Structure 1
Amino acid sequence: MGKNKKKFLSLLMVSTLAISMVTACSNSNNEPASSASSSASTDGTASQAPVNSTAFEDISADIRGNTAPTQEQIDLVNNSLNDTYLADMFDTKLPTDYSAYPYKKDVTLDVWVPATSDVPDWNKHIVQQQVQKLTGIKVNFISPPVGQEADNFTLMISSGNLPDIIMDPGRYPGGVAAGVTDGAYQDLTDLMEKYAPNYSAWRNSEEMRRKTTITDDGKLLGFYGLAPYSEWMWFGMLIKQEALDKTGMEIPTTVEEWHQFLLKAKEVGYSEPLNYGSTYGQIFTGIINGAFGVWDWTFQDANGKVQWGPAQPQAKDYLATMAQWNKEGLLNKDWATADFNQRMAEAVSDKTAVMMDSPDTMWSYWKQQNNIDFVGALNPVLNEGDKAQTTYKNWMVTGMNAAVTTQADDVEAAMRFLDFSYTKKGWELLNYGLYGNYHLVDENGKPYFQADSYIYKDPDGAPVASTLLKYRNHNWPDIRDEHNANPNIVAEGSYSGDIRKYWTENMDTSVAMPPITFTQDEASREAELGSQLSTLRGEYFAKIIMGQLPVDAYDKFLQEAKNMGLDEFLSLHQAALDRYNQR
């Protein structure tokens, strides 16, 4: 550890300077070396570490279709690595190599991970407590207060005193690759097959997963959240059904139809019909602006060349349209500043007819809490018959990623801990929580949240938006099963998943950029230019839409963007895209 630390500290000055600038395949009959069994409390939590067993007994008959399991059955499922009762639900079988568990050494890993309002202390998270018991690897989670993650990360890196594992390691200036070059993170390329057989099997089982988890030069620098499929798009135009009923209009498709619908909605009583955006990312999301080809950020044109959305020819038309809508009072007055809570309060009020948001979120706020039905609309187009487009595409990489630092005392233990999340048992536990009060298993071997699950009926009264984080892991380096294990999607009567699927299947994603990576030198420059261009775009576009600047001010904006280094910014992205395509 001392040797690694000395190496890291010798390169720390470069990183500290950068920080100051940025400060911003299942087999039910397999026989692993060990299984487990122990006692558990009545709520499904384990109370003892698992003990060894020589093989898995098939317990499918006792667990599948059982709606009232005994405490002994609950204990067996939760406190054993036995996965014989679970079905193979995907085209690729989930990995089942449990030979490393329980881990052979007594070790405690320090893991830095951001907290949330629903998970303020990961050391108390029921799923992560169970992972430790099943793997035999103890973990001490280190989390800064919510909202202080960036400063805390900067101080941690600057101090040169690193934990064993860092979740969300891309916070490092220049990204994970820069962290490896500087001696902060481990290059895991030569260790993955040996110490992470489940992750290796899963990422290599599909070309998209393989391609999105390596660097341009073929290195493996961390563990990524990897889905069994490309997840449905999650954000778009949502309309209250009552607004359609009151206006007597159909779901709009073109920009002009949207204009007429919003005017009519205002006429029938919705004083601020379109909840347009906020400071957390919804101002320029490729929804309305996408109709004009004015995407938020970078995209691929028809020739596979990288372009910058705000610099596209029809940008002035887009800005003129939104400035008119704003002048007509069709947008929420606080669209440039409203936070999440403000937007949700407005959403359930009589002022709002349309939200630009996630159907999962609005299922909770509109339907569950206020009995407001809603429908999803495709992104607007300019001309009738045009196909809606989006720059969003899920590349099977999802959730959070993790890196092992050069100061890890036991690199194998760190990798074995992370690798468990890519086993079949890990998939069940992290996606569905513990067996019993949190989920059951149907007659076909598929886990599900029963009606009286704590996910839906929390003893503390927490809503599903909180329990999906409280009793399961929603954003983690694992095999995330969003379509089957997101409680909002699979809730009885929910149609949020139907909307997301409809959007995904009916929009063109050819403009979407894949998850490219930059070299260390490129990353520093890209971050600098990107920050400047983002600020410039935000200031000009917002002021033009609010009427504080004329539409013709766009010409000055575009010239400033070019003077700022737009061409260089695009060349960096093009080089990275070309390398990605060669992986």
Structure 2
Amino acid sequence: MAEKKRNRTVFTSTVIAVALAAIMAGCSTDSTTKKESTDVPAGTQTPVTADNGKIVSSPLTISYYSQLAASRPSGMMDLNGMEAYKELEKITGIHVDFKHPTNGQETNQFNLMLSSGDYQDVIEWNWNSYPGGGQNALNNGVIIKLNDYIDKYAPNLKKILDGNPGIRKQISTDNGDIYSFPFIRNDPSLQTYFGLALRKDWLNKVQLQVPTTIDEWHTVLKAFKEKDPNGNGKADELPLLINKGNLNWGNYLINAWGIRNDFYIADGKVQHGAVLPAYKEFLTTMRAWYKEGLIDQDYAATDAKQKDAKVTSELVGATDMAIGGGIGKYLAAMKDKNAAFDLVGAPYPTLKKGDKPVLGQQDAIFNGLGAAITKANKHVIETVKWLDYKYGEKGSLLFNFGIEGKSYTLENGYPKYTDDVMKNKDGLAFGVALTKYAIPFGAPLSQDKRYMEQNAALPQQSEALKAWTNTDNRGALPPLSFTSEESSKIASLMTDMKTYNDEMFDKFIMGAEPLENFDKFVEKLNKMGMADAIKIQQAAYDRYLKR
């Protein structure tokens, strides 16, 4: 489930921004209203923390808008059914009236809430998808500035920010405002959950090692195609199943050429790989592999369900996988079907042997997901203290691991999940079983890497994480803030350019468009506004550096 919180690309954020832009236009308030909403009342005494007593002396209910994971135990209709929230209510005295949008309708219902002006007290959302980001949500008077509240009433989050300037930089706007209680992943093993994996048993059969370079990948894929590693006597192996969508952010092959088919940083400047000569080199290699039959000829029409069927039918030699929803899922599915079935994570490839991979999949410490307090909230201080509890030692244990003695036990200070989570008697997957007790993949929270150590407890998973995190990601763009005008402009530009880019990717790979026309492809992207898009990204990046 953690993997699905998945990295929000600039494209995704800006497309949603277009949908919201018209709605946001009517949400502004005057400066007086904003000042009243964001200033801490003078003379207020710092209250006792929740660890020493309840936050409120009499029952208090706050409303809270958040998405409800589809993968959850049956019967859990809202987060009040989770043991961690039941315990939090006992500790703090605050009851939460959760408002969960219908799965698949999250954005539409978020839009309706904003357009109506009838806000919940707290909104948990990926604020990168709001036109102009969190700063514009502040400017429009939807949510309130939190800096002073955090300084006075959120000692746990304040301690994290004071000790980690990099985190403060990421969760702040360009002018230093903090607008939400963030979901924080401050460890590479938490920020990385995705990469390439191969059938290890197939590698053993063809007597080859895990490939590390593009040339080695070609050798392995050719052996998978020609040596019948699935042993059924048929030439039905699909050596490599590529997921076109993940070329934009996972970059599990294109990174070998040192680029992304997306925005990234090179020599301090924003670039987009699609208009560079290295992209043509990448496409040339993919075209050659496709022509040789090393890439699944039907990759473009293969959805997630079909991918699962191909993998579990023992047709796929290599593909992109998530740590839990890929490696873990397939190993579990094939355990009784084929005891020899095995997977191994491969490092992001390079062109030259021994080079360190660049631009692998690694989310930012803060990906925009945060719990913001709206202007409708009449109990801001109490809400701040309630939100802050999760960042403390007890709150962190509660929401990363659940209830001691039920979902975890402490062994020499290490919170170890019980069999009810790890080996659920009803056959529930790890993420589903854990959600009965805790939710270590939402805001507000600082995710504990000991959660991932157990989520990725299989040797194949832990080794894959080591391979996938061994990358040089200095060229990855940090989370950027765009003005409303920039958001609207780049969304308009990238919607058309991405559609064209995707179409041409398939045409180049499948041979429908000769690679000799690559320069015409670049020329058209430039005419569609690539230079303007890069300029907007550069301006936002420059502002980020000055935070």
**For 2:174, what is the secondary structure of its paired residue?**
coil
Deviates more, 1:198-207 or 1:121-130: 121-130
- Contact 2:371/2:444 (<8 A) preserved: no
- Look up the equivalent residue of 1:319 and give its one-letter code: L
Residue 137 (structure 1) aligned with residue 142 (structure 2): no
1:420-454 per-position Cα deviation (integer Å, ceiling 9, x unaligned): 11111111011111111210001x2221113x2x1
Q: What is the deviation of 1:264?
A: 0.9
Alpha-carbon separation, structure 2, partners of 1:161 and 1:541: 44
| Counterpart mapping for 1:66-465 below 5 A | 98-99=51-52, 101-119=54-72, 121-170=78-127, 171-230=129-188, 231=190, 233-269=192-228, 271-277=237-243, 281=246, 285-301=250-266, 303-371=267-335, 372-397=341-366, 400-442=369-411, 444-450=412-418, 452=419, 454-465=420-431
Question: How much has 1:153 moved relative to structure 2?
Answer: 1.3
Query: CA offsets per residue over residues 52-107 of structure 1, 9 Å max, x none?
Result: xxxxxxxxxxxxxxxxxxxxxxxxxxxxxxxxxxxxxxxxxxxx863573323432
Amino acid at match of 1:503: W
Gaps of 5+ in 2: 1-18, 26-45, 229-235, 336-340
Does the Cα contact within 8 Å between 1:234 and 1:358 map onto a contact in 2?
Answer: yes
CA distance in structure 1 between the aligned counterparts of 2:431 and 2:299, rounded to whole angstroms: 23
Deviation at 1:265, TM superposition (A): 0.2
**Deviation (angstroms), 1:313:** 1.3
Deviation at 1:530, TM superposition (A): 2.7
Q: Is the contact made by 2:348 and 2:360 (CA closer than 8 Å) also made in structure 1?
A: no
Distance 1:356 1:169 in 2: 25
Task: Give me the TM-score of the superposition, normalised by structure 1.
Answer: 0.78
Q: By how many angstroms is 1:488 displaced?
A: 4.8
Change (3 A) 1:186 1:100: farther
Residues 133 and 15 (structure 1 numbering): CA distance in 2 closer, same or farther, change over 3 Å? Answer: same
Pair 1:548–1:155, CA change in 2 (3 A): farther
Q: What secondary structure does 2:182 align onto?
A: coil
Q: How far apart, in 2, do the equivalents of 1:470 and 1:297 lie?
A: 38
Q: Give the match for residue 71 of structure 1.
A: none
- Give the unaligned 5+ runs of structure 1: 1-13, 21-31, 35-95
Once residues 353 and 155 of structure 1 are traced to their aligned partners in structure 2, the CA distance between those partners, rounded to angstroms, is 45
Aligned match for 1:533, one of 497, 507, 511: 497
1:550 and 1:205, CA in 2 relative to 1: closer, same or farther beyond 3 A? Answer: same
Question: Is the CA contact 1:468–1:486 (under 8 Å) kept in the aligned structure 2?
Answer: no
The CA distance in 2 between the partners of 1:554 and 1:176, in whole Å, is 39
- Return the offset for 1:362: 3.0
Query: Is contact 1:344–1:365 with CA below 8 Å preserved after alignment?
Result: no
Is the 1:144–1:152 Cα contact (8 Å) retained in structure 2? yes
In 1: Cα distance, 2:258 partner to 2:355 partner: 12
Matched residues in 2 for 1:19 and 1:540: separation? 34
AA matched with 2:486: E
Shift in CA distance, 555/539, structure 1 to aligned 2, threshold 3 Å: same
Contact residue 107 and residue 413 of structure 1 kept, 8 A? no
TM-score by length of 2: 0.83
Structure 2 CA distance, aligned partners of 1:368 and 1:185?
A: 44
Distance 1:109 1:97 in 2: 17
In the superposition, relative to structure 1, how do residues 483 and 344 fare at CA in structure 2: closer, same or farther (>3 Å)? farther
Q: Which residue in the other structure is 1:471 paired with?
A: 437
* Matched letter for residue 213 of structure 2: T
Q: Which amino acid aligns with 2:259?
A: V
SS at match of 2:151: helix
User: 2 CA distance for matches of 1:578 and 1:548?
Assistant: 40
Judged with a 3 Å threshold, the aligned counterparts in structure 2 of structure 1 residues 262 and 219 are, in CA distance, closer, same or farther, namely same
Query: Does the C-alpha gap of structure 1 residues 131 and 398 become closer, same or farther in structure 2, counting only changes over 3 Å?
Result: farther
> How many angstroms apart in 2 are the aligned matches of 1:403 and 1:179?
10
Amino acid at match of 1:180: L
Of stretches 478-487 and 433-442 in structure 1, the one that deviates more from structure 2 is 478-487
What is the CA–CA distance in structure 1 between the aligned matches of 2:58 and 2:275, rounded to whole Å?
Answer: 57
Q: Which has the higher strand share?
A: 2
- What is the alpha-carbon distance in structure 1 between the residues aligned to residue 433 and residue 156 of structure 2? 28
CA shift, 1:395, in A, is 4.1
Q: 1:410 to 1:553 in 2, by over 3 A?
A: farther
In 2: Cα distance, 1:577 partner to 1:206 partner: 20
Distance verdict in 2 for CA 1:238–1:459, change over 3 Å:
same
Q: How much has 1:162 moved relative to structure 2?
A: 1.0
**Comparing 167-176 and 252-261, the one that deviates more:** 167-176
Q: Secondary structure at the match of 1:262?
A: helix
Between stretches 534-543 and 338-347, larger displacement belongs to: 338-347
Q: Which amino acid aligns with 1:412?
A: I
- Corresponding pairs, count: 491
Q: 1:141 to 1:460 in 2, by over 3 A?
A: farther
Distance 2:243 2:281 in 1: 19
Distance 1:328 1:248 in 2: 21
Residues 151 and 494 (structure 1), Cα distance of their counterparts in 2 relative to 1, 3 Å cut: same
SS in 2 for 1:287: coil
CA distance in structure 1 between the partners assigned to 2:87 and 2:299 by the alignment? 43
Aligned to 1:40: none
Q: Secondary structure at the match of 1:354?
A: strand
Q: CA RMSD in A?
A: 2.6
Asked if the contact 1:178/1:520 (under 8 Å) is kept, the reply is yes
